Amino acid sequence: MNPDKVDRNQLEKLTDLPNIGPAIATDLRLLGINRPDELAGHSPVELYYMLSQIKGKRQDPCVLDVFISVTRFVDGEEPRPWWMYAEERKRILKP
């Protein structure tokens, strides 16, 4: 969902979260996360590497941006577009 349209009081399904559409919602379900509240306390980096392992190939680095944005939101931060986390992700995934 577009971060500008997110309502913290209406988080019933994964696609109610900022930056989560059907494809990433499917990826989160592969990780055993079926509801927004189940993201609390998860490391975005661990989610990214677990998804890569499950799918058998490294995921697009922007997936990590999305995971950072959504875990931060669930932990209390304001919703922000996923691309706002690109610099942080670049530091994390340094070659």
pTM for the model? 0.94
Could you give the number of structural domains in the chain?
1
For 68-83, the pLDDT digits (tens) are: 999 999 999 999 999 9
Token reading at 20: 């989560």
Residue pair 52/59 in contact by the 8 Å Cβ criterion: yes
φ, ψ for residue 53, nearest 5 deg: -65, -45
For 8-53, the pLDDT digits (tens) are: 999 999 999 999 999 999 999 999 999 999 999 999 999 999 999 9
- The CATH number for 74's domain is 1.10.150
Residues of the domain holding 19: 3-92
Residue pair 27/48 in contact by the 8 Å Cβ criterion: no
